[in-house]
Amino acid sequence: MFEEARRRDQQDPIADKRALFALPENCIYLDGNSLGPLPVAAKARATEVVEQQWGNDLITSWNKHSWITLPQRCGEHIAPLLGAKADQVICCDSISVNLFKLLCGALALQHGRTKIITTTDNFPTDVYIVQGIQQLLGEERCQLITVDETEIEAALNDDIAILLLTQVNFRTGRVLNMAKLTEMAHQHGILTVWDLAHSAGVLPLELDNCKVDFAVGCTYKYLNGGPGAPAFMYVAERHENAFIQPITGWMGHATPFTFSSSYTPHQSVSQSLTGTPSVISMSVLEASLEMWSDIDIHQVRKKSIELGEFMLNCMQHLQLIDTLPLASPLNPNQRGSQLAFKHDQAYAICQAWIAEGVIADFRAPNILRVGFAPLYISFQDIWSACEALQKIMQQKTYLQPEYQKKQTVT
């Protein structure tokens, strides 16, 4: 398997992209689906923004370095990765805040409809935000309905206002059919809101062609924007005139520097802004996004599938599948850029793996999750990681007390 890994690395058309990242030595990083590593360009940009733009140019940087247009510029970089025209994407706030904006605004467009349907196993914040809106508006104006992923199609009807879905399941990696489900929703007059947290930067997306209404996503995973990097939101052009988001801060005003006492929304996706952009974080993100200008997302997806299939072959070769059964779809076209394995000791196994220099992650209650970020992960990385995992499982080092103790962030 080692020779096969080396051969695949030699034939990898995007192997050179690994040099774009400041990766730590003696570490195999399989958690880029939670937090991407540091791009070299982002590191340099952070120094420039802090020392020169803030430290030397001070407040003049709003104009001199165009801080004020960072949300729009980052949106323009992200848009091609979403299959969207640039003027429909803006970078701001977090997924949670942007979901609140989009769901409230979308509900207001659906006169007489109050139900928001989502999946039981959606990422918790998506569900929590709907619960919060329901408490805020009352059940007569907002009702949350949850169904199993397998029951989405059957649950769609003319009473539903919004279909809220995450394209890639955060635990299993199962991919939902965006085009099909969006079309089915529209047949019932339902607006769609898609969460692209585990999609952007690793799956080819076609929001415009799929006629998606609204979408959110984060930039600190496969887009490598750094911890706490701002999220993005997509508002289809056809909704821009009617859609009004509820957190009407001054940055969403048509003319914010007139300091008018009454709110007039910007007539573009920029009305989705609320407060002052997080300049340092967004500047770092912009540097990370600039490296996508010559990267083919279809090559990224192709390698992602190959990495996943190669890992499964390594697991079979090392006789690990029986003790760590796959929780992800077996068909690689039905899963995102991750694999999930089930084990009652998944947390401790993950901690022991980290101690061996392989960083993966755990998702409660029993999922060992492995993420494949094709820009910097090699096939030799995967083979070495599997060898380390075999050692852990054979020696049962995960039973040691230091790996059993739960940390604050799991």
User: Which is nearest to 335 in space by CA: 371, 365, 360?
Assistant: 371
Q: Where are the alpha helices (DSSP H) in 171-267?
A: 178-187
Instruction: List the Cα angle 295/298/303 in 5-degree steps.
Output: 90
CB 21 within 8 A of CB 375: yes
* DSSP per-residue codes, 328-388: S-SSGGGB-SEEEEE-TTHHHHHHHHHHTTEE-EEETTTEEEEE--TTT--HHHHHHHHHH
Say if strands 232-235 and 338-342 run parallel, antiparallel, or are unpaired: unpaired
Q: How far apart are CA 164 and CA 300, in angstroms?
A: 27
Non-local CB neighbours of 147 within 8 Å, separated by 6+ positions: 117, 118, 119, 120, 155
- What the block records as the tokens of 7 is 């051969």
What sign has the CA pseudo-torsion 210, 216, 220, 221? Answer: negative
Amino acid at site 25: E
What are the catalytic residues?
A: 123, 195, 220-221, 369
User: Which is nearest to 36 in space by CA: 299, 296, 225, 307?
Assistant: 225
Query: DSSP secondary-structure letter at 242?
Result: T
